[in-house]
Amino acid sequence: MSADLTGRRALVTGSSRNLGAEVARVLADRGCTVAVTYHSSRAEADALVEQLRADTGGEHVAVRADLSTPAGVAPMVADAVAGLGGPVEVLVNNHGPFSMTPFAELDPQEYAAVMDGNLTATYLAVREVAAGMRSGGWGRVVNLSAGSAWLRNHSVYGLAKSALGTLTESLALELGPQITVNAVAPGQIAESAPDVAAIDPTFVDRAIGRTPAGRLVTRREVAEVVAMLCTPPFDLLTGAVLPLDGGWRFNRF
């Protein structure tokens, strides 16, 4: 069964750098034409698009997306459709702001920003692309959750990522059979370890020590799974949340 996505049009939110950029690269490698989105890092988005064009020959595009407000979702999708030359067929919801502020200290505006960025933006993006996917008879949505969905020390971020699993299941029920909706939930990503270490110098070693696989997942590994979920071998997988954490989430006694 083919893992090729040649000719498919993909939109990846939050994709000018880090994990989103790696997802864009893998989808482009598999044959997608990709809309790379950015909020303020236009130069990074343009550089990535140029790299993708040089590597694949595809007409990839950069699209500005202000997902800090629900009003920014529809213009993002409209610009992606215009740039790609047709409806979005693969949607990867990678955008998702983070917070570790304790609930007892959490400002309502910060709470809303994290919930809206992880959940509201996701449902609105799906709403904007669903009609085009249905009219074409095929669509794939992959949401980026996180290992924090199973933890209870990441404040509103864990709440948002846990709720994203329920949203994924509900959308899968609603949008089948033409559209599958799944989620990928990475544990701590290796390339982001230095950022976490700046907050908690002991975190990375503790995370690896509690991971049966003995190491952290990489951006490339996450991106490969995201892309594979859009290919024929996974046509019957929908409503699933796949943890890519090496077993980190398991409680121990």
Nearest to 59, CA basis, from 89, 38, 34, 80: 34
Whole-number percent of the chain with pLDDT over 70: 99
**What confidence tens digit (pLDDT) does each residue in 81-111 have?**
999 999 999 999 999 999 989 999 999 999 9
**Residue 182 bridge partners (DSSP):** 142
Token representation of residue 98? 């983070």
Task: Reply yes or no on whether the pLDDT at 72 is more than 70.
Answer: yes
**What confidence tens digit (pLDDT) does each residue in 213-239 have?**
999 999 999 999 999 999 999 999 999
DSSP at 218: P
- Give the pLDDT of residue 2: 56
- The residue annotated as part of the active site, out of 38, 111, 123, 157, is 157
Residue 63 phi, psi dihedral angles, 5° rounding: -130, 130
- Give the pLDDT of residue 1: 44
Helix (H) or strand (E) holding 64: strand 61-64
Considering the domain 9-191+221-241, what is its CATH architecture? 3-Layer(aba) Sandwich (3.40)
**Residue 183 bridge partners (DSSP):** 143, 241
Contact 222, 184 (CB under 8 A): yes
Write the CB contacts of 18 (distance below 8 Å, at least 6 apart in sequence): 191, 192, 219
Active site residue 123: no
Distance CA 115, CA 138 (A): 29
Write the CB contacts of 147 (distance below 8 Å, at least 6 apart in sequence): 185, 186, 187, 188, 243, 245, 248, 249
pTM of the model: 0.96
